[in-house]
Amino acid sequence: MRPHGRGEHDSLYFTYPHFDAPPPGLDRTSPVPVAIVGAGPVGMVAALELARHGQRSVLIEARDTFNDGSRAICLSRSSFQILDRIGALPPFLAKALPWTTGRSFFRGQQILEFTMPDSADERFRPMYNLQQQYIEQFLWQAIQAQPLIETRWQTRLTGIDAGAGGAVLHLTDPAGAYDLPARWVLAADGARSSIRQAMGLRLKGENFEGRYVIADIRLKHDYPTIRRALFDPACRPGGTVLIHRQPDDIWRIDYQLRDGESADEATREENVRAGVQGVLDEIGESGDWQLEWWSVYSANTLALDEYRHGPVFFIGDSAHIVPIFGVRGLNNGMADAQNIGWKLALVLSGHAGEGVLDSYTPERRGATLDVFANASKSARFMTPPSFGTRLMRDAALSLALRFPWAGELANPRQMAPYTYADSPLTLVGEPGPGPVPGALIPDTNLGDLFLTQKMGPDFTLLTLGPAPKVSHPLLTTLSLPALWGAPEGSAFLIRPDLHVAARWTSADARVILSTLTAMLERP
Amino acid sequence: MNPAEPLYEALAAHLDRLGEAQAPLFLAKAALALAEALGDGDRALDILRECAKDL
Across the interface, whether the CB atoms of A398 and B20 are under 8 A apart is answered: no
ipTM of the complex: 0.93
Å between A406 CA and nearest CA of chain B = 8
Burial class (CB in 10 A: 0-12, 13-18, 19+), A366: middle
Taking an 8 Å cut-off on Cβ atoms, the answer to whether A388 and B2 are in contact is no
**Are A155 and A171 in contact, with CB atoms under 8 Å apart?**
yes
Rounded CA-CA distance A56/A66 in Å is 22
Whether B4 and A389 lie within 8 Å, measured CB to CB: no
Whether B2 contacts chain A with CB within 8 A = yes
> Backbone phi, then psi, for A126, in 5-degree steps?
-60, -35
Give start and end residues of each alpha helix (H) in A34-95: 41-52, 77-85, 89-95
- DSSP secondary structure letter of residue A339: H
pTM for the model stands at 0.93
Other CB atoms within 10 A of residue B2 CB: 16
CA distance A366 to A360: 10
Which amino acid is present at A272? V
Distance CA(A216)–CA(A473), nearest Å, equals: 49
Q: Of the candidates A286, A370, A274, A389, which has an alpha carbon nearest to the alpha carbon of residue A320?
A: A370
Q: SS3 for A184? A: strand
User: Are B8 and A409 inside 8 Å of each other by CB?
Assistant: yes
User: What number of residues does chain A have?
Assistant: 523
Question: Which of A391, A403, A409 is opposite residue B5, by nearest beta carbon?
Answer: A409
Judged by DSSP in three states, A518 sits in helix
Q: Do B12 and A403 touch (CB under 8 A)?
A: no
- Separation between Cα atoms, residue A516 and residue A520, nearest integer Å: 6
pLDDT in tens, chain A (523 residues): 999 999 888 999 999 999 999 999 999 999 999 999 999 999 999 999 999 999 999 999 999 999 987 788 899 999 999 999 999 999 999 999 999 999 999 999 999 999 999 999 999 999 999 999 999 999 999 999 999 999 999 999 999 999 989 999 999 999 999 999 999 999 999 999 999 999 999 999 877 767 889 999 999 988 899 999 999 999 999 889 999 999 999 999 999 888 788 889 999 999 999 999 999 999 999 999 999 999 988 778 899 999 999 999 999 999 998 876 666 789 999 999 999 999 999 999 999 999 999 999 999 999 999 888 877 777 788 888 889 999 999 999 999 998 888 888 887 766 678 999 999 999 987 778 899 999 999 999 999 999 999 999 999 999 998 888 899 999 999 999 989 999 999 999 999 999 999 999 988 899 999 999 999 987 6
Helix or strand (DSSP H, E) at A20: none
Residues 6-35 of B with CB under 8 A from A: 8, 11-17, 19-20, 23
- Using a CB-CB distance cutoff of 8 angstroms, which residues of chain B are in contact with residue A398? 54-55
Query: Nearest CB to A387: which of B8, B15, B54?
Result: B15
As a whole number of angstroms, the distance between CA A156 and CA A37 comes to: 9
